[in-house]
Amino acid sequence: MKELLPLFISPALFLLLFAYLKYRYPKGQFRLFFTAFGLGLLMAFLVILSNMLANYLGMDGARSIRRMFLYSFVFVGFMSEFGKFLPLYSKIMKHKSFNGAPDGIIYSLAISTGLTTLYAAYYHFFGLKVEGDWLYLIAIGPVNALLAVLVGFFTGMGKIRQNRFIDSMTGLGAATLFHGLFRFTLLSNDTLFFLLVAGGILFIALILIKKSLTSATESA
């Protein structure tokens, strides 16, 4: 039973976020929020297919630095963050109620928790067991949620500033970079480097959340 506990982290994060929003906006409509979660579940299949391709090519678990780098930054980092970015940019952001960085963060978090809910289950039961997997399964939900803040903040800012492409690519690029570092540190079994990367991601996410709230207050 203990081995299954990491699989409940992402659903728990989603429910906590929903409970907060329900408390903050008791008369709010949450259809788009649940739609974002559902789109995240759907995009998990993209990440799963990427992982299966990496497995077929012998990329995951490889001891070659070049292969580890390619697996971490392309097959895991880019595909995971693209899986959050695509529905946010192509679907959620076009909704009339979407207004700026705070909304970008909220919906990106909903997408992320949906994605990692399904992906974590796949990885637990079918993923190739490599170095740091126990920590990867525990961290995958929280770290993906923190990285979703980067994607959501810049995508939301892009809508406000009418600079969607550059801002969105900034968020996607930054999230991909940190996600790749996150996976690479675990594959290399460097716990200290992992803690530094995780701490850096947390620090940046908190700054962006604060900045989004400030920008929302100033525009109100």
pLDDT given at position 214 = 81
- Mean pLDDT over each residue of the chain, to the nearest integer: 90
pLDDT given at position 27 = 85
Residue 112 · residue 38 · CB < 8 Å: no
Residue 60 · residue 132 · CB < 8 Å: no
How long is the chain? Answer: 220
pLDDT given at position 218 = 53
Nearest to 104 by CA among 114, 89, 116: 89
Residue 133 confidence class, pLDDT cut points 50, 70, 90: confident
pLDDT digits (tens, 9 = 90+) for 75-91: 999 999 999 999 999 99
Q: Inform me whether the pLDDT recorded for 183 exceeds 60.
A: yes
Report how far Cα 12 is from the mean position of its chain's Cα atoms.
Answer: 15
pLDDT given at position 129 = 61
pLDDT given at position 74 = 95
Nearest to 111 by CA among 69, 143, 144, 150: 144
User: In angstroms, what CA-CA distances link 103 with 117, 141, 154, 188, 211?
Assistant: 21, 20, 11, 36, 13
Nearest to 40 by CA among 133, 200, 151, 127: 151
